[in-house]
Structures are given as C-alpha cells and as structure tokens.
C-alpha cells in the first residue's frame, strides 16, 4: 500500500487517498449489491498455514516474523487461503451458499516496487455453488464493477486451469521443462515454443495441440470451435462446453463484448482448478483483477466445498481510474474574535448538511472553493469571481445548494 504521509507533497497524497477511499466504497457497494458480506482475516498468520497447502505462495515471497514464543508467523501473503480455512473449519461439505468480500492488505517480497511490499486487494469469495451460472455471475460482477469505476475499454480474459494441466500430463518432461513450456505459452513466444517442442519426443498430435495453444485466443465461440478441431480428450471437450455455457450466461448479462477466451491463460496460483480469468484495462500490461475457481482447496482443510473468487489490485485501480471530484464541499468560514461564536455555529450548521467546513482566522490566507465572511447581520459568500450577501445561515445553505446544481 502506498504511503500517504512520507513525501513533501501533501496535496498529492491527500488527493490519492481520497481517490482510494472513493474506489473502495464503490467496490463495497457493488459487492454488497450481489449479496456479499464483508469479512477480515488476521494480518499475521502461522507460517505453516501456507507451507502445508499446495499451490500457494513460495516461501521466499513471504515476509516472516517470530513471535515471543518462537513461533514463525508471516504477514498475510494471500487472502483466499485463510478464508477457505475458516469456512472449512465450520462447514465440512457443500451445504449452503456463502458469499464474502474483503478489502485487505497483502504482503509479499515480490512486490518490492520502491521497497513497497504491501498492496491492497478487494475481492470476493463465493462458496457452495459449483455451477457454470455461478462462474458467470462472479465474472459479471467483475465486469459491472469496472463499469461502475467508469472504465470504458477493458477485457476479461477467460481460461481454464485444468485444460492446460491435462495437456502437461500428456508429455513426460521434467518440472523445469514444464515451467519453461508455461513461459513460452504465457508470453506467446511462438519461435521459442517451436524450438522447445522440436527437441521433445512426443506424439505429433500432442505437439500440434501445444503449438496451437497461443493461437486459441479471441472471441469465445470461434476459439471453442477451432479448439474442437484438434486432438482433444473427452474431458477437454467438456471443459470447453463449460466455458461456452459461462459465455452464454454472460451474454444474458450483456457483458459478452468484454469477454475474450484465452486457452493459454496461466495463473501461478496452483490451487485454481477450473475456470480462471484476468481483467485488463487499456494501455496497462498487467491484470487489474484476477481470479478463478478452486474447488479442491478446501480438501486440504478436510472439507469439500466448491468455490470461486477474484481480487482487484486496488492500488492499480487508484492509479488508472478516472479521477473523481470530491464528494464533500470545501467551505472556509473566516472569523475574528468578535464573531467566533457565530462562525462556529454556522460551521456546525453546514456540517449537519454533510458539507466539509473549515474555520479560519481572517488574517490567514485560505484556498477554498467557497469562502464565507461573517458580517454583523449577514454573510458574504465568495465563489470564483462572484459574491453573494445573505441574511441567515438557511439562505447561505440555499445559495450553496443552488451553486452545486441543486444537490
């Protein structure tokens, strides 16, 4: 998370903080409109929680501390895992739907941008529903949230974690070679991929399938049709049919224009088991949100609960979202010792009507949208180059409301 008080540009920091609070409130409102309830996890978690779960954060990426008893703790590197553990502790099988959202900081050494190891994430976790409709609803929520934040050009890229995992199972290669293969596909490095496959002794049909993966990208129905022409297993075809069902439901929401299918999409969180997705906005090369289905994660906590979720990178949203104007007005009342009581009463009156008001001595220079001077039996309101004289605080309020367009 960005520091807001350690620079010598307080106006910039305050503006950025206000923008962040505005975005977080927008996210909260939208998440709650889909029936999600806010929860929180501890900032410090047992180190073992993450090292005993497969497919999670690499230990080198965690920030570790030791408590007075000698137990190793980590600053929260992930949010999905502790939430799943908590749910699994009181639900041992799929019995009901649970919808949670969070706005929390995560800590990893891999962030390390100007020694900043902290990022704010806002996301949702939907437990207890394993249908394609629930996948579509979650992706629709991500779409609608980006529209709430006034992003006009964005895409949600959908893939399937198990589709690529099944392809890897078809080839007998080392762990290091699998990692290299992932890198070629993720970067869509066609020459590198072809050179890599040339030296592998695998069936030609499998080689052809792998070579085609970087090209299985675009409008979902066309990509699915193209993919089905390749040598696929029955389970691969079923996965494509699942994606088709998700896309058709997203069309009912009216969000199909933002959706792209990428069968080469790879998420480094290995606990994802089925559909995965990432959100991109114009001119930004990294995802602004990512998520997917993780139906087997609860199994590692001795439970069986299907689940899907996603998280926004809030700090990236703050940097890239259209800047919002302040929701509170900036009024300054200038007073002297003889009319200080009147100034305080006027400030309290305007604050009760949800306006931002500061009190300032007449001798001080002020920078404010509205400046209110106190006269013996009236008020003078200055706004831009105009001045308005009114007799009462009620009249003062009406003038400000009129200048704000009746709000």
Q: Which of 263, 307, 306, 268 is nearest to 287 (CA)?
A: 268
Q: What is the pLDDT of residue 114?
A: 53
The predicted structure's pLDDT at residue 1: 43
CA 299 – CA 308 distance, rounded (Å): 14
- Print the SS3 string covering 303-364: CECCEEEEEEEHHHHHHHCCCCCCCCCEEEEEECHHHHHHHHHHHHHHHHCCCEEEEEECCC
pLDDT the model gives residue 238: 95
341 is in an annotated binding site: no
Integer Cα distance of 210 and 268 in angstroms: 19
Please check if 108 is assigned to a binding site.
Answer: yes
Tokens of 241: 């049919």
**131 marked as binding residue:** no
Q: What pLDDT sits at residue 3?
A: 44
Q: How confident is the model over 290-331, as pLDDT tens digits?
A: 999 999 999 999 999 999 999 999 999 998 887 765 555 689
Q: Is 272 annotated as a binding residue?
A: yes
Low-confidence ranges of the chain (pLDDT < 50): 1-10, 407
Q: Sheet of 356-361: strands edge to edge?
A: 356-361, 330-335, 370-374, 379-383, 386-390
195 annotated ligand binder: no
Q: What pLDDT, in 10s, does the model give residues 354-371?
A: 888 999 887 777 788 899
The position carrying tokens 């980590």 is: 74
- Structure-block tokens of residue 376: 């013996």
Domains along the chain with CATH numbers: 10-320 (3.30.930.10), 330-403 (3.40.50.800)
pLDDT, position 197: 83
Can you give the pLDDT at residue 99? 96
Q: What is the pLDDT of residue 292?
A: 96
Strands 330-335 and 356-361: what pairing?
A: parallel
Is 40 assigned to a binding site? no
Flag whether 121 is marked binding: yes
pLDDT in the model for residue 268: 77
Q: Does 371 count as an annotated binding residue?
A: no
């Amino acid at each position: 998370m960005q520091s807001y008080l350690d620079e010598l540009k307080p106006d910039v920091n305050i503006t950025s903080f206000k923008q962040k609070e505005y975005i977080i409130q927008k996210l909260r409102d939208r998440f709650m409109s889909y029936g999600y309830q806010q929860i929180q996890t501890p900032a410090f978690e047992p180190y073992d929680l993450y090292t005993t779960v497969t497919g999670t954060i690499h230990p080198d990426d965690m920030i570790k501390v030791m408590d007075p008893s000698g137990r190793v703790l980590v600053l929260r590197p992930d949010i999905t895992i502790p939430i799943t553990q908590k749910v699994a502790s009181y639900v041992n099988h799929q019995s009901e739907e649970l919808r949670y959202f969070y706005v929390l900081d995560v800590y990893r050494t891999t962030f390390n941008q100007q020694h900043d190891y902290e990022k704010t994430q806002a996301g949702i976790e939907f437990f207890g529903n394993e249908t394609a409709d629930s996948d579509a609803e979650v992706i629709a929520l991500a779409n609608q949230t980006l529209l709430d934040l006034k992003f006009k050009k964005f895409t949600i890229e959908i893939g399937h974690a198990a589709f690529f995992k099944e392809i890897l199972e078809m080839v007998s290669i080392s762990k290091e070679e699998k990692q290299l293969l992932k890198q070629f596909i993720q970067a869509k490095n066609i020459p590198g991929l072809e050179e890599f496959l040339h030296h592998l002794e695998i069936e030609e049909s499998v080689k052809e399938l792998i070579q085609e993966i970087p090209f299985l990208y675009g409008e979902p129905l066309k990509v699915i049709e193209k993919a089905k022409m390749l040598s696929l297993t029955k389970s691969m075809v079923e996965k494509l049919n699942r994606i088709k069902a998700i896309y058709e439901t997203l069309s009912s929401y009216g969000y199909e224009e933002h959706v792209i299918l990428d069968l080469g999409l790879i998420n480094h969180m290995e606990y994802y088991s089925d559909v995965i997705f990432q959100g991109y906005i114009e001119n930004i090369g990294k995802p602004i949100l990512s998520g997917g289905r993780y139906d087997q994660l609860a199994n590692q906590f001795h439970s069986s609960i299907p689940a899907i979720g996603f998280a926004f990178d809030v700090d990236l949203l703050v940097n890239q979202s259209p800047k919002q104007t302040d929701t509170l007005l900036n009024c300054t009342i200038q007073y002297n010792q003889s009319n200080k009581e009147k100034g305080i009463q006027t400030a309290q009156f305007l604050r009760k009507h949800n306006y931002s008001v500061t009190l300032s001595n007449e001798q001080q220079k002020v920078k404010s949208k509205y400046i209110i001077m106190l006269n013996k039996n009236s008020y003078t309101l200055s706004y831009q180059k105009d001045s308005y004289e009114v007799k009462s605080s009620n009249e003062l309020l009406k003038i400000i409301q009129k200048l704000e367009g009746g709000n």
